[in-house]
Amino acid sequence: MEIPFNKPYYTYKAIENIDNVIKSGKIGADGYYTSKCRELLEKRLNAKNLLFTTSCTHALELAVKLIDLKKDEQVIMPSYTFPSTANCVLADGGKVVFTEVNHDDLCIDTSKIEEKITPMTRAIIVVHYGGSPCDMDKIMDIANRNDLFVIEDAAQGLFSTYKGRQLGTIGHFGCYSFHETKNVSCGEGGAILINSNDEHLIRRAEYIRQKGTNRIDFNNKNVEFYQWVDVGSSYCPSEMLMAYLYAQLESMDIIHKKRLNIFNRYVNVLDKIKSDKIFFYSKGNDEEDFNAHIFYIIFKKADYADGFIDILKDNDIMAYRHFVPLHLSKMGLALGYQENDFPYERDLYKKLVRLPIYADMTEEELSKVEEKIIDAIKEI
């Protein structure tokens, strides 16, 4: 019995929804299921002005276009993140400025942000790692005092909260992912939340999303012809994807409950072991809603992480590391960063291990993982 690292939640409703789309003959963008997904998600997030995109990468790109980033303007972000966080800045001619993360929750270290701010700084992109919230009060205070935009990279943060507010709803923009590996998924997909009542900004986002055209005005019968009105790209997901996603969103409470149970079982196992080989492991947050997106263990030595992964693999359990820090990657080095710029991040990716977690994990599978965690930590 092989236990995968991740498996998308299965619901037969997705097949029914996709069949409905095919029979309708309307398989393009912004149809019935896009509308239903938007209605459901905006209600859950207690927010408005949500637009679906073909990925979180595209949501981030759209956010950067909306702040009118100029050539060589700077955007501060953690080095320990996925390349999309940086690519969206470079694609518009900006410069990435990496900074450090907290040693436990791996969210951006707010004490390091202000020293990175220069007259060329335009924005901060914060990453809610594993569903844990960044310290948004401090971040928004820094941004407001320095007239900066805040973009929440909430690719891993959907349905986690900070002081009762959903992640992605606090900064100027929130960006979400529905990739295959996320809690709710449509294979590839994303969304941007525009936390503003500025009608011009919202309309511009709709134009950029639709290849830079005012097609939405045409669809709403406000113009006789639609035309090219702004710089844009093709960011609209098809109804096939939205039909699949709607079934997932309808099951989001079930998915959350099952993932949280697995997460807490892992916490209980590691609490009992109290191994001196472990530096830190995921704890969640008892005071906030937490989406249980990732469960990770940070070992004190890379050798411990290597051995742990190998033992689990020998027992047909898939566990993986995560990001190579961007400053340490081939592209980061090409941008002028050095290996030792961020010592903690430099070593982190070799010591961090993520455990399998997915809503359809059976009790037999979970019990096996728990047993082998104990065996592996004793053996390494």
Q: Which residues are catalytic?
A: 182
Tokens of 33: 């299921």
User: How does strand 173-177 pair with strand 190-194?
Assistant: antiparallel
For 23, residues 6+ apart whose C-beta sits below 8 A from its C-beta are: none
Task: Give me the DSSP letters along 121-164.
Answer: EEEEEEE-GGGPPP-HHHHHHHHHHHT-EEEEE-TTTTT-EETT
Count of C-beta atoms within a 10 Å radius of residue 16: 11
Closest CA to 168 of 126, 118, 124, 204: 126
CA 171 from centroid of its chain's CA atoms: 15
Dihedral sign from CA coordinates of 62, 67, 68, 74:
negative
Tokens of 103: 């040693």
Closest CA to 230 of 218, 250, 241, 214: 214
CA atoms of 163 and 293, how far apart (whole Å): 19
CA atoms of 165 and 169, how far apart (whole Å): 7
Half-sphere exposure of 373 (CA within 13 A, CB side): 28
Tokens of 114: 């202000």
Closest CA to 317 of 380, 258, 255, 373: 373
Torsion angle, alpha carbons of 30, 36, 38, 43, to 10: 170
One-letter amino acid at 139 equals I
Torsion angle, alpha carbons of 40, 46, 50, 54, to 10: -60
- Helices within the chain (DSSP H only): 12-24, 32-45, 56-66, 84-90, 136-146, 199-209, 215-219, 239-250, 252-273, 302-314, 330-334, 343-351, 363-379
CA atoms of 30 and 227, how far apart (whole Å): 18
